[in-house]
Structure 1
């Protein structure tokens, strides 16, 4: 009788561990793209900037926004938009290092955290990704979806911000400048000037 009770307790404990792992995964990963979500990114960036400061290294952030995504949804439906977002996410993951963090930041906006990567190296990485997105061709519901592009904003710590919030704001401003400048381009953030 004790063996059966012990087996039941062990089975319950294993189920609890499995459930906890599943819930942790669900709380940090976007179900559509398989990328990490914003919560995971925010926590990771805070940790990485602290590590970067200790090691006197650099860390870059790249904000990415798929161009004319509303038009894609309007033309091909949300299923088509989902396919574009998934294909773009896959293309990005193929072009970053294992140590880099790729996240869906919200809607059609993605963000990269590139530890030990200068702004110039991050800019080259973003350019490679930008070029690869143009090559995506998706067949959906008898239609061809192509001409996918994105705008990119690159910022580096230190240099473009004093902490996570300022670094992300710098990358976001550079992204906005890329969009305003015609889209489908990579823009580097302006140097951070602390308020006196």
Structure 2
């Protein structure tokens, strides 16, 4: 005989407990069914708690506006990837990008439009990265992309493709925002442009501000300045 017991927590079905080989004798089968129901309640509670912990963990590392990872997660991941790159003697590139004239967007169209612009760019970033890449909102309108096993030349090429995607994104409907949005990029590679996390970020950030000084909407690789 078979028995299926739903696993329910907070009125949500989270699984199903399927049992086979129940006793043919009614009294013994009733005891087995009661035990199965009790076990199902405990399993449902454990699954619900595990899902809650995972949800809270993700909330602690995700930026709520863009859905990208947050600065805390980036800093932890950068240290970990730097250590791996040292062990494996493999390249690691860091891309820093900043939305051009973002203050004008907020001042001219409102913060809701500014938020929509950031969400749109975050979506384009997600579409452009590999599974092993890590994209984060570093703060304000500044985003970072960590590219393991990627040399600067390839990282700059990929950043250029993303820059073109952002510049070519369709304008917001009904004049709700600017006709075009652009971003400036800085790219640096470990260990060529920095022996540690702080130095690598500084190198990419300097390249970014060089892109700003040269007219924005461009990619500058560290070492080009």
> TM-score, normalised to structure 2's length?
0.79
Residues 63, 112 of structure 1: 8 Å contact kept: yes
Structure having greater relative contact order (Cα 8 Å, sep ≥ 6)? 1
**Matches of residues 19-98 of structure 1 in structure 2 within 5 Å?**
19-98=52-131
**1:194 corresponds to:** none
Runs (5+) with no aligned partner, structure 2: 1-33
Deviation at 1:190, TM superposition (A): 2.9
Is 1:137 matched up with 2:199? no
User: 1:77/1:54 Cα in 2 relative to 1: closer, same or farther (>3 Å)?
Assistant: same
Deviation at 1:125, TM superposition (A): 0.9
Distance between the aligned counterparts of 1:38 and 1:60, measured in 2? 17
RMSD across aligned C-alpha pairs, in angstroms?
1.8
User: 1:20/1:186 Cα in 2 relative to 1: closer, same or farther (>3 Å)?
Assistant: same
Number of residue-to-residue matches in the alignment: 191
Show CA shifts across 1:41-86 (max 9, x none): 1111111111111111100000000000111111111111111111
Deviation at 1:135, TM superposition (A): 1.0
Distance between the aligned counterparts of 1:127 and 1:140, measured in 2? 26
> TM-score, normalised to structure 1's length?
0.90
3-state SS, counterpart of residue 173 of structure 1: helix
Runs (5+) with no aligned partner, structure 1: 192-196
Corresponding residue to 1:109 among 142, 145, 158: 142
Show CA shifts across 1:100-137 (max 9, x none): 11111111100000111111111111111111111112
3-state SS, counterpart of residue 159 of structure 1: coil
Deviation at 1:167, TM superposition (A): 0.4
Residues 167, 180 of structure 2: 8 Å contact kept: yes
3-state SS, counterpart of residue 112 of structure 1: strand
Show CA shifts across 1:134-167 (max 9, x none): 1112435653532211111110001000111110
